[in-house]
Amino acid sequence: MRLLPREDSVEEGLNSSLFRIVQDERQTEQLREGLSAYCHRCRNLLSGMKMGLHFVRRGSDKPLSARWTEVEQTYVTIEQLFDRLQSIYRPMKLTLIRARFASLVEDRRQLWRQWLGVDGANLEVSPPEDDIACEFDPMHLSTGLDAMVSWRGSALVQDDTAHLSWRFDVESLEVTWRESRNGSHHDDAVKPQVHSGVSGTSTVHSLALPLLARVMSAHHGSMEWIREPAFEIRLRWPLSQAASAVSEPESAIELSSTKFRQSAPDADRVTAAAFA
């Protein structure tokens, strides 16, 4: 049984639809064909708005009202929305390194804890006793995980805890994000926004799952998740991309620090799935 987000909001409906689409490469290509021209036109309009806002602020002889700050914040949110949409439907070219997954977690952990701690939630990290190196694209993987953690930070509240752990088998790495609730609130819905109607910020958050699924597909991996009884995401990808890629990739670079850079092959196969 596949568990998808409840579609009782515009944001979750978009999330659910895109999550289904990115599981099929042909549908992802159709999405790219349908949205690329539209996103390009919207970005041109946004560029004009940005220039207009710049000249208004620069040409003003006195401080602008708070309303102008709200307009600028709205512009930034809309720009982030198009950034995320394009990240989902564009082909993902991997730049692989060989490193411990722990090195990426160590690099991002403080920031993740800050995001979760805004409303008093906690993050517990449980690495395996024997951590080994694997291949991954640190930039794409960080982007996907950042999006997920930021999204979950908008749902967790005081004394909730997110547990991040990972383990290895012979051929793959499995990463698990599991949440435990403090029992003081009723469900997993995103916390209410200050403004009524559709929130641009919550819409950006709602695209975290399809973005992370896209990252996993590029790694020839899979993404499984459930909402109830407790929210949980499982990510799995092969320790070596050479065993999964259609063609033999270039050798990955051995790396044990958190300075992530180097080149590697292209991977673009969707295998995201949900588990019961």
Q: What is the pLDDT of residue 233?
A: 94
Q: Which residues have CB under 8 Å from 243's CB, separation 6+?
A: 171
Distance CA 234, CA 179 (A): 12
Show the domain range for 154: 1-276
Residue scoring higher pLDDT (194 or 142): 142
Query: Is residue 95 a contact partner of residue 217, using CB atoms and an 8 Å limit?
Result: no
Give the other-Cβ count within 10 Å of 258's Cβ.
Answer: 15
pLDDT digits (tens, 9 = 90+) for 86-141: 888 888 889 999 999 999 999 999 999 999 998 899 999 999 988 899 999 999 99
At 191, is the pLDDT very low, low, confident or very high (cuts 50, 70, 90)? low
* Mean pLDDT computed over every residue of the chain: 76
Q: What percent of the chain has pLDDT over 90?
A: 32
CATH number, domain containing residue 71: 3.30.565.10
> Considering the entire predicted model, what is its pTM?
0.70
Mean pLDDT computed over 49-76: 76
Q: Domain count of the chain?
A: 1
Q: What is the pLDDT of residue 6?
A: 47
Q: How many CA atoms lie within 13 A of 271 on its CB side?
A: 16
Amino acid at 202: S
